Amino acid sequence: MSSLPVPPQPVVPARWRTGARWPGRAELRADLRGGLVLTGVLLVAGLPAGLLWEALAPRAQFEVTADGPTVVGHPSAELLVADDGVYTLVLAGLGLLAGVAAWQLRRRRGVATLLGLAAGTLLAALAAWQLGQLLGAGPTAAELADVGARVTTAVRLHSLPALAVGPFVAVLTYVVAALFAPGEDLDRPGSAPAVAVLPPGGPLPAPGPVQGRPPAGRRTPSSFS
């Protein structure tokens, strides 16, 4: 009577056999410094993003007259929401680049890098917002009182939820890349290989055929002679 086939045993990474509540705790501590550095780099990257927003945001011109400011030309009706649109596109591009760049840090792939990516892009969004509004400030009271002078409208972010676009795109890019990683270790160099863990008292897997010997029950050509 043939024995029933032994089901395959679960395979888990070797670092999960330590008995810790969360096996990624040591990895998180090791990558904490790298995550903080990533956060700082992204914060600095928010400064050129703010310069780009201020340069690309459309603005209307006004000429100061005795009766008050008069619009020059025919500005677009979407001028009030154009600042938000340009800011959203700039921060979405920054988030995409940040997510791709963070994924290229193979030795630091993990939770710490993901947290640093989210925090860094959020700080970059705040820095770009403040710098853009500072450089694109509206006319002062003295400029509005100068008859004959031309002034431009200020750069303003009217929709504060746009601050979350950069972090959302960055985290989404990183998570999508992790989903297509070839292994649970995210293809991180130096990770421990996966080993089979047998439950206590469980059956041993059936041994495979020995190299050079045919399986039991199979007759070789020499046995017919």
Contact call for residues 92 and 169 (beta carbons, < 8 A): yes
Q: What is the pLDDT of residue 31?
A: 73
In-domain check, residue 15: no
Residues 6+ apart with CB under 8 A from 196: 9, 10, 11, 205
> Which tokens go with 61?
């011109």
In-domain check, residue 174: yes
3-state SS assignment for residue 73: coil
Helix, strand, coil percentages (3-state) for the chain, rounded to 5, are 50, 10, 40
In-domain check, residue 29: no
> Which tokens go with 30?
């090791």
Q: What is the pLDDT of residue 89?
A: 95
Contact call for residues 110 and 30 (beta carbons, < 8 A): no
How high is the mean pLDDT in each 10-residue block of the chain (225 residues)? 60 51 65 87 95 87 66 62 90 95 83 90 96 83 66 82 95 91 69 50 53 53 50
In-domain check, residue 221: no
In-domain check, residue 20: no
Q: What is the pLDDT of residue 163?
A: 94
| Tally of domains within the chain | 1
Neighbours of 148 (CB within 10 A): 8
At 13, which helix (H) or strand (E)? strand 11-13
